[in-house]
Structure 1
Amino acid sequence: MRIRRGDAGERTMNDRLKKAVTTTALVGGGFALWTALAASASEALVPADGDFVDVPGGRLHYVDTGGNGPVMVMLHGLYGQLRNFSYALTAELADHRLILVDRPGWGHSSVDGGQPPIEEQARMVADLIDALGLDRPLLVGHSMGGAVALAFALNHPGKVRGIALIAPLTQPMDHIPPIFRGKAPPAPLRGLAAWTVGVPLTTLTGPAVARHVFAPDAVPMDFGTRGGGLVALRPSSFQAGAFEIDDANRAVSGMAARYGSIGLPVAILYGRDDHLLDPQHQGDRTAAMIPGATLTNIAGGHMIPVTHARETADWLRTAATA
């Protein structure tokens, strides 16, 4: 039997295609296995610490430190979790009752459907405050949690007595910080990316990202577990982060136009050497737009609730009495 050249070439192409498909499947399967193992390990090393409350749109995980002191509700930032606050800040605020919250879609909080935008997260936190029967607590937001706190002040002002913003995102940014590039693929690809390259990429780049976020302060050796940093190694965290990075400018652009209408006490705290967000653009500019807002600068970078807990706690006590 004679094999024509065309047939041989076609078979060669088919063989190459099969090999490419097989290789792609093996690589994708390897990434998916990596992702599953990393997610399982992170959940085992950073288990739920508190209780859960169901609100429209999801189920929120929170820790209530108890006590009869003034109440503060605390919202963490991007790729964070409530242990960002319990790492060091809760010990400095033992004279207050603190409600530490995993924001919707983060930590051990779950959402119905896709990641909710900033405004919807604020509504869910308002529902949590109602469910817990809290009487106008001080709402504290760090980084992206600060954007949620601002949305809360604009849309649910009667439920809190004021907001305290720690290194908050408040103004649109011209470009995504370089450390987050590659972490916000187009919406149709986020699910696939989360279960393939997302978690391995986060695992490999995590130490460098952490150093940048904490700089000029050092990253605590136990931050992954005690500070909740390992929760970023889950596909749900990749998807939540991709959505928030992509949606943040829309959210804060709309809110910034309304800052002048905020009637609540607003206090802003920034580390002078924050490498992630510009203290002048995000802090000074916003303080000037909100009637009566105060701005305080201290030594440190973006993660001052962890690295400068005592100074942050002293500032919060002042904000709570304003």
Structure 2
Amino acid sequence: MTTAVIALIALLLVAAAGFTAYLSWTTHRIASRSEAQIPMAGKTVSIGGDRIHYVDQGKGRPILFVHGLGGQLHHFRHPLFSVMGEGYRLVAIDRAGSGYSTRVSSGARIPEQADLIAKFIDALGLEKPLLVGHSLGGAIALRVALDHPDRISGLALISPLTHFIPTPPKEFGGLYIRSPLMRRVVANTLAVPASLKNAQQTLDFVFGPQPVPAEYAIAGGGYLGLRPSHFHATSSDLVAVEQDLPQQVGRYGEIRMPVGILFGSRDRVLHHTHHGLAMQGKIEGIDIEILDGIGHMPQFVEAEKVASFIRRIADRAFAA
């Protein structure tokens, strides 16, 4: 190898290191701005080695909200809490790794996340809450019902992931990183700048056919997704689904509590037939409601109807 070739290789390595450092600096600058715009909204509780961030509002029978892939507690707090009415204690969490919750001792596997939810219920002393799960949060809520049925009174699932999807939507393709090391590297370099660049396209897919609410970035917590820890947790969650959901589907008949599912007929992320109507007959007495023309985020565009659905399932669950 000639001196010139060696010098070129060295120059390329220096350039690559410099570019990586620039991406890392850009990533953490964006993350700092995001946190400044949306500070912590509630309290934290330590569970194992993790710090779980949550908001707790109102008095009455408890309802616990579990957000979906890439989300955080503002997906419920902002659009729903003000329209739920009185008589409920409304609690929403940032799942471990998302929002302002950490993921240190717990993992991304669905049973692990369900275990953490059960421990959170115990830590706050919630007396058999109704569990509300959106999207991936629906799959986790179903697992709580399977593995910890004594902790909750029922399930109200909004646009839930109920069956395994072999190929994630192409809009989520950048999240599917199986290597833990590569996931960490991408999270701290490319992921956040790329997410910012593609944000409008991704949000149009998730919210469509309805427009993205103007207040979503701040009030809806959208900017909190622009942080390395959040990307890492979201990618880990997506990869973990394939390890547990196929087996979980075969157990749905074990669930013996009131369960309701609310779906939009125009959901682009999870099809209402495959994940909603397909649950008919799998759980005894299941209540399935389809909102015509609505996409994956009904709590933002039809908050009153979603709140009415939750109250209806709550009445059944708490009566039982």
TM normalised by structure 1 equals 0.94
Q: Does 1:128 align with 2:111?
A: no
Distance 1:249 1:146 in 2: 15
Q: Does 1:220 align with 2:213?
A: yes
SS in 1 for 2:280: helix
Question: What residue is the counterpart of 1:181 in the other structure?
Answer: 173
Q: Which of the pair has more CA radius of gyration?
A: 1
Distance 1:161 1:186 in 2: 35
**Superposition misfits of 4+ residues, deviation over 2 angstroms:** 113-116
The 8 Å contact of residues 203 and 233 in structure 1, kept in 2 or not, is answered as yes
SS in 1 for 2:270: coil
Question: What residue is the counterpart of 1:295 in the other structure?
Answer: 288
Q: Does 1:313 align with 2:307?
A: yes
- Write the mapping of 1:24-173 to structure 2, written as runs, cut at 5 A: 24-68=16-60, 70-95=61-86, 96-113=88-105, 115-173=107-165
Task: Quote the RMSD (CA, aligned, Å).
Answer: 1.3
Distance 2:254 2:80 in 1: 31
The 8 Å contact of residues 183 and 242 in structure 1, kept in 2 or not, is answered as yes
1:174 is displaced (CA, Å) by: 2.6
1:94 is displaced (CA, Å) by: 3.0
Unaligned residue ranges in structure 2 (runs of 5+): none
The 8 Å contact of residues 73 and 99 in structure 2, kept in 1 or not, is answered as yes
Name the aligned partner's letter for residue 282 of structure 1: H
The 8 Å contact of residues 115 and 240 in structure 1, kept in 2 or not, is answered as no
Distance 1:17 1:186 in 2: 29
Distance 1:260 1:189 in 2: 38
1:237 is displaced (CA, Å) by: 1.2
Question: What residue is the counterpart of 1:234 in the other structure?
Answer: 227
Distance 2:253 2:140 in 1: 17
Unaligned residue ranges in structure 1 (runs of 5+): 1-8
Distance 1:114 1:232 in 2: 20
SS in 2 for 1:140: strand
> In the comparison of the two structures, how many residue pairs are matched?
313
The 8 Å contact of residues 215 and 274 in structure 1, kept in 2 or not, is answered as yes
The 8 Å contact of residues 268 and 287 in structure 1, kept in 2 or not, is answered as no
1:37 is displaced (CA, Å) by: 0.6
The 8 Å contact of residues 57 and 124 in structure 1, kept in 2 or not, is answered as no
TM normalised by structure 2 equals 0.95
The 8 Å contact of residues 61 and 109 in structure 1, kept in 2 or not, is answered as yes
- Among 248, 261, 264, which residue is 1:255 paired with? 248
Question: What residue is the counterpart of 1:276 in the other structure?
Answer: 269
Name the aligned partner's letter for residue 74 of structure 2: R
